[in-house]
Amino acid sequence: MKVQKEQISDYNKKDLESHNENFDFLANKLSKQGHNVSDIVTKLAKFQVAIPSWALGAGGTRFGRFSFYGEPSNLEQKIEDVGILHSLTQTAGAISLHIPWDIPSDYNAIKEKASALNIKFDSVNSNTFQDQKDALETYKYGSLSNVSKAVREQAIQHNLDVINIGDKLGSKSLTVWLADGSCFPGQNNFQTAFQNTQNSLIDIYKGLPSDWSMLIEYKPYEPNFYSTVIQDWGASLMLANGCGDKAYTLVDLGHHLPNSNIEQIVSILQLKGKLGGFHFNDSKYGDDDLTVGSIKPYALFLIFNELVYGMQNNPQNPDLAWMIDASHNVKDPLEDLIQSLEAIQEAYAKAMLIDQSALKAAQLDNDVVKCQEILQEAYRTDVRPLLEKARLNGGGVLSPIDAYRTLNIREGLIKERGKNTVATGL
């Protein structure tokens, strides 16, 4: 299933006039305030977010899973789904694979499929949180941190294999998320577990191609409920520093204890040139993996404020790997991802409207009220016409959710793939 160009231009007709009116009104207002509107629109169009291969089917919880039908059941179909998202939104120009769930059977065919849909291969994810069929060693008590050398070696080798697979597809980074930790006090020696992890990561790091980077994700708890080896940004940063220049911290928005100041974490990591990647989602309680911007849109905006500042002022920090990491239990996964993409672009656009020089001046004056006013002036602006313009310029649709429904995309996928589909993933 593929969305055709004519379908998109036909669909856009009904809203084109009102879009133009809204855009002109906003562009006029912003230009008067001194903003370069076409520059903002260009930056929005360039901002591409990778879709995780595991978020294209219904996720589920430990209590159950409810299929959404017509889900992709192999890598080709996952890429097709991302192609649909990209053709509507023009923001989803990459896919992030998870090995072993997504091992290609025919590399050339997979690469051709992706390039025909304008999809790149973003960071590849390794998996040492599940035992694979016929595996000699078990990860029940950890992988890279395990007390057993044989287990650590198996996990290291898996990561090297993942790099090799990603390399054949054109990926440029490996994302490591470990479930390693302990469920009860006394179960692990914290220092041994940390040192084993560091040494294992160094072995993996040595296998990185020269133009690759390694992204180290952290998370305070789950699936282990007493301790996690890479529990926070500090642990991730120490491990990255222990590996070398090409290792970075990856921030997943859901991987913080309640009320953590994520924007501050993001800011300081960029200052140190160590923020490598991002997993967008939203949460109320923990690693909820909810739709981006659905719970705390203002926090997302504040994070983007720091990201925009960092992109402008921290050349020591590399370009980031942007990815959504979400899971859908009750929504159509593609609709959920469209909402997330929109929320990301919205927060980014609003952050670009922050008057940085006025903010700096107000900070130097210690004018606390003014500082807040400057941020909130940007936040309160309805930037959606800018997003529409960026999509329109790239050949996308004015209203992605409405288009998805109007074009009966899920119905088309069900017709093509049937109802009994099972997508792998968490």
Positions touching ligand AOS (CB under 6 A) are 54, 98, 125, 177, 217, 219, 252, 279, 287, 325, 426
> 125 is in the binding site of which of ligand AOS, Zn ion, none (Cβ under 5 to 8 A by kind)?
ligand AOS
DSSP 364-387: HTT-HHHHHHHHHHHHTS--HHHH
Could you list the residues that contact Zn ion (CB under 5 A)?
Answer: 252, 279, 287, 289, 325
Q: Compute the least distance from the CB of residue 173 to ligand AOS, in Å.
A: 13
Q: Compute the least distance from the CB of residue 222 to Zn ion, in Å.
A: 8
> 361 is in the binding site of which of ligand AOS, Zn ion, none (Cβ under 5 to 8 A by kind)?
none
Q: Give the residue at shortest CB distance from ligand AOS.
A: 177
Looking at beta carbons only, is 55 or 110 nearer to Zn ion? Answer: 55
Q: Compute the least distance from the CB of residue 224 to ligand AOS, in Å.
A: 12
Looking at beta carbons only, is 278 or 309 nearer to ligand AOS? Answer: 278
In 108-210, at which residue ranges do the beta strands (DSSP E only) sit? 120-121, 124-125, 173-176, 181-182
Q: Compute the least distance from the CB of residue 280 to ligand AOS, in Å.
A: 11
% helix / strand / coil in the chain, to the nearest 5? 50, 10, 40
Contact 8, 403 (CB under 8 A): yes
From CA 335, how far away is CA 403, in angstroms rounded?
Answer: 10
Which is it for the CA torsion 298, 375, 248, 231, positive or negative?
Answer: negative
Looking at beta carbons only, is 172 or 384 nearer to ligand AOS? Answer: 172
> 282 is in the binding site of which of Zn ion, ligand AOS, none (Cβ under 5 to 8 A by kind)?
none
Q: Compute the least distance from the CB of residue 29 to Zn ion, in Å.
A: 38
Looking at beta carbons only, is 288 or 373 nearer to Zn ion? Answer: 288
Looking at beta carbons only, is 98 or 384 nearer to ligand AOS? Answer: 98
From CA 422, how far away is CA 230, in angstroms rounded?
Answer: 31
Q: Which helix (H) or strand (E) holds 23?
A: helix 5-32
Q: Compute the least distance from the CB of residue 426 to ligand AOS, in Å.
A: 4
Q: How many Cβ atoms from other residues are within 10 Å of residue 206's Cβ?
A: 11
Contact 18, 388 (CB under 8 A): no
> 54 is in the binding site of which of Zn ion, ligand AOS, none (Cβ under 5 to 8 A by kind)?
ligand AOS
Token pair 């998996």 is at which residue?
127
